[in-house]
Structure 1
Amino acid sequence: MTHKQFDEDQLEQVLNNAPKLSDHRSKDEVLQRLLADARLQDNSHLQAAVQEPIESQLTTHEVNEKQDFIQAENKDLPITKRKYKKMPLFMSVAAVFVLTLIAGSMFVNNNDSPKDQATPDSATFSSMPENRATKEIESSDNVMDSSIVAEHTRMMSLRTSVYEEDLTDAVVFRIGLAGGKAAESVPMTYIIPNERVVADFGKEKPTSLQMYEKYAPQIDEEAMGFTNYHPYKGELEEKGETLVHVLPKKNAYDIASASVSKYLGSLKDTFSDSDYKEIAFENADGTAYEFSQVGEPSEPMALIPREHYNFYVYTETNGTEYLSPDFRKTFSTVTEALTDMRHKNDDVYVSAIPENVTYTVKEEADGVVVTFDVELDLMTMDAVRATQLIEAMMLTAASFDKKLRLDNVVQDSWEGFDLTKYLPMPVGANKQYMPE
């Protein structure tokens, strides 16, 4: 979209993660593809590249023919080899042009581009044979081009949450990373392809603990600006629907109330939506662990699939921003949660709602409706901030298992969201991809 703005770090990250393109077609295949592409028939640069060698051959036809005949007699070389000595130059021009076209198509913005564009009349090259091989090449190229555009669109999106559309042939792995600042745990949602899970575990579905033990150690938390926190110290064991954490005598989870809060928050982010209903804390001898801040044996902590949070913007020490609950404050109603998220409560979590933006909240049968008091023009905001506003509200509504609709917005769509309807319910916050 034309409203997207990137700083240098974001642009560098996008370029580093851009798909690596390769093309193993022969020069003849590239030429056939170029000449058969209806989109290029009216292009002045291509026509100039095609006509220049042709006109040169016409004006010097007799001279070239005579020279080729003499050289063929003297050197016993076929005349046909002389006639195509300029072809490599033409092929180079053609190849460069094709690459330019593909690169340009990758940066097409399908949100703002007209959906119905006129295509040039293909009669210009109607005399060119369209054999089966050419059609197969074009079909293959169309698939490649569409895949490139789809991958580029996905990577260039300002969305940061995971949605059902992201989970085609993939599953999610949730984990709470320990903030490097005074923050508690920041929820992360990793997308892992099904084929990788099958390669790692076979056809049998792994448990949440097995997923954690396999993938948590592969995350470079410090490289992301977080504290090196995983895997947890001690032992994790499954006992039916209870996950037991056997804590070592000396650990960093029980140093102070803040460390205990961060530890419990991380466990909730990692295992709330899992196979377990609760987490028990034990000593090595099987007795209940006693947190120093409590002064009595601990009780198991219940795991609720959807805690009733609202979401704020959290900035890590390296400058990366995430959407996260504000110190795990919970709410009884979605109206209360959405209304409260306008307020700036501390210096760690910042509201995703600009100070001058006010709204009312109404719960309906199909979801929750946020109506802005003054028509909201997202184009007047920074594109990242506008997307954070929408997704923070969506995540807040989703924590109550509700969809969100935004009313009184100038735009009908934003970052692929149809703002005239209820928005999709996010699967999780802060989309990540498991490193290879």
Structure 2
Amino acid sequence: MANNQWNDDNLNKLLHSMPKISDDRPSSEILERLKKDDRLKKDRRPKVKKWIPSIVAVAALLLLCLLLPSMLKGNQDMVSEPMMENARSAGKQAITTDSKAESASVEEDSDAESVDATTFSSMDIMGMKSHVVFANQNNTFSLNLGLIHEANVIPVTILIGSDRVKADLGIDKPDSVELYKEYAGIFDEESYGFDNYHPYKGDLTTSEKTVIHKLPENHGYDMAPATFSSYEDSARSTFTDYEDLKVVDEDGMPLVFDYIGKAMDFPLKRQLPYFKYVMPSGEVYLVPYENGDSSTVTEALLSMKKAENDIVKEVIPAGVDYQVTEVDGIAVVSFDSPVDFTTIPQQDVLQMIEGFMLTASNYDVQVQLKNIEQSHFENYDLTKPLPKPVGANPIWLP
């Protein structure tokens, strides 16, 4: 113990006798020296083996491949049929809204009512076929043709682009005869199910408001009453901007028809009510058809209620009845009870409205409908007189 104590005392003395160590350097200088010390620059963090994340990624990918088919099937099962139907309905509604926004309203020009070029396209999108043509529609010229099917005359309106007409004819406003001579021969009637009837045999010229038809021998238009009737009604549906047709022989003399026994000049105006004519293909055309007394527009509109034979069908839906009066040159069709157009097939409604319009136009008047729950039907404003068509059953010329 003594020796240890001595040693401790000696050690104490030795330590106290040693000089004191001090460092007067500023801390900034010490920090700067430490930054430069290479021993402190070594990365002391433990190294992670790089192959471990790769294994984890591969395992996750394999698990995803196993679970993905089940997940997709589950998601499909969660989408119910009503939800799918709602999605389809929303898409259809969007298309309908866009098409209605593009539809044009009926306008009036100095000669007759005209409709914007989008009219036909909007009705196609809505799944309905329009049967009327208005003046200056679609920037086209209209060639009216009385086509023949089983001895019945079906009027159609061939639409031809105005640029094409101007290039072909070199004139701005060709009449029906000029259009007929240029285009009737290139329209393919048989492709639409009609007889090969046009162009007419012989030559066509005009004199004021009269069409002069010079026929060759053996023309065949007077072989029987039915053949002459088809020829007569076809001409009336073709040359709608003229008043009379005069038939002459090759020498320019009045032509005597065999079965009639005398020369035949006749007026081209055709005042008849309109009905539906259904082709064997199922295609529907609106046609003027004799159906009792129709010397006035009122009689013609009333006679549309019931067809007298099965060649044509009514455009008036079953259960719909009406009366007709004439007010200030407007034919007013008043339904006996309020009519809700939404309860009637829409194509039937369109055929009835356009049948009224075409019938009234045959008498050079407009028609207005009364006692209807709706104020509009597609492009037609039902609160005022409807526009007057200049043609029926439009077909574009290829």
Give the CA deviation at 1:167: 1.9
What amino acid is the match of 2:235? Answer: L
Instruction: Give the TM-score normalised by structure 1.
Output: 0.61
- Asked if structure 2 preserves the Cα contact closer than 8 Å seen for 1:181 and 1:316, the reply is no
Question: Against the structure 1 CA distance between its residues 107 and 342, is the aligned structure 2 distance closer, same or farther, given a 3 Å change threshold?
Answer: same
Residues 1:243 and 2:214 aligned together: no
1:327-381 CA distance string (max 9 Å, x none): 4877222111111111121111111113421111111115121111122222222
Instruction: Give the TM-score normalised by structure 2.
Output: 0.67
Q: Distance in 1 between matches of 2:307 and 2:299?
A: 15
Give the CA deviation at 1:430: 0.9
Equivalences for 1:130-209 in 2 at 5 Å?
152-156=121-125, 157-164=128-135, 167=137, 169-178=139-148, 180-183=149-152, 185-203=153-171, 205-209=173-177
Q: Distance in 1 between matches of 2:326 and 2:207?
A: 40
In structure 1, the partner of 2:265 is 300
Unaligned runs of 5+ in 2: 1-90, 102-115
Q: Distance in 1 between matches of 2:117 and 2:303?
A: 42
Question: Against the structure 1 CA distance between its residues 204 and 427, is the aligned structure 2 distance closer, same or farther, given a 3 Å change threshold?
Answer: closer
Give the CA deviation at 1:105: 8.9
What amino acid is the match of 2:213? Answer: H
Question: Against the structure 1 CA distance between its residues 308 and 194, is the aligned structure 2 distance closer, same or farther, given a 3 Å change threshold?
Answer: same
Q: Distance in 2 between matches of 1:255 and 1:370?
A: 42
Equivalences for 1:257-272 in 2 at 5 Å?
257-272=225-240
Q: Distance in 2 between matches of 1:302 and 1:104?
A: 50
In structure 2, the partner of 1:285 is 251
RMSD: 2.8
Q: Distance in 1 between matches of 2:195 and 2:336?
A: 41
Residues 1:397 and 2:396 aligned together: no
Question: Against the structure 1 CA distance between its residues 160 and 257, is the aligned structure 2 distance closer, same or farther, given a 3 Å change threshold?
Answer: same
What amino acid is the match of 2:132? Answer: S
SS in 2 for 1:264: helix
1:15-70 CA distance string (max 9 Å, x none): xxxxxxxxxxxxxxxxxxxxxxxxxxxxxxxxxxxxxxxxxxxxxxxxxxxxxxxx
SS in 1 for 2:384: coil
SS in 2 for 1:432: strand
For this pair of structures, how many residues does the alignment match? 293
Question: Against the structure 1 CA distance between its residues 152 and 205, is the aligned structure 2 distance closer, same or farther, given a 3 Å change threshold?
Answer: closer
Q: Distance in 1 between matches of 2:278 and 2:236?
A: 21
Residues 1:324 and 2:287 aligned together: yes
- Asked if structure 1 preserves the Cα contact closer than 8 Å seen for 2:133 and 2:392, the reply is yes
Q: Distance in 2 between matches of 1:394 and 1:110?
A: 27
Give the CA deviation at 1:149: 8.2
Question: Against the structure 1 CA distance between its residues 410 and 300, is the aligned structure 2 distance closer, same or farther, given a 3 Å change threshold?
Answer: same
In structure 2, the partner of 1:340 is 303
Q: Distance in 2 between matches of 1:230 and 1:378?
A: 39
* Between structures 1 and 2, the one with greater strand share: 2
Indicate the structure (1 or 2) with the bigger Cα radius of gyration: 2
Q: Distance in 2 between matches of 1:150 and 1:311?
A: 22
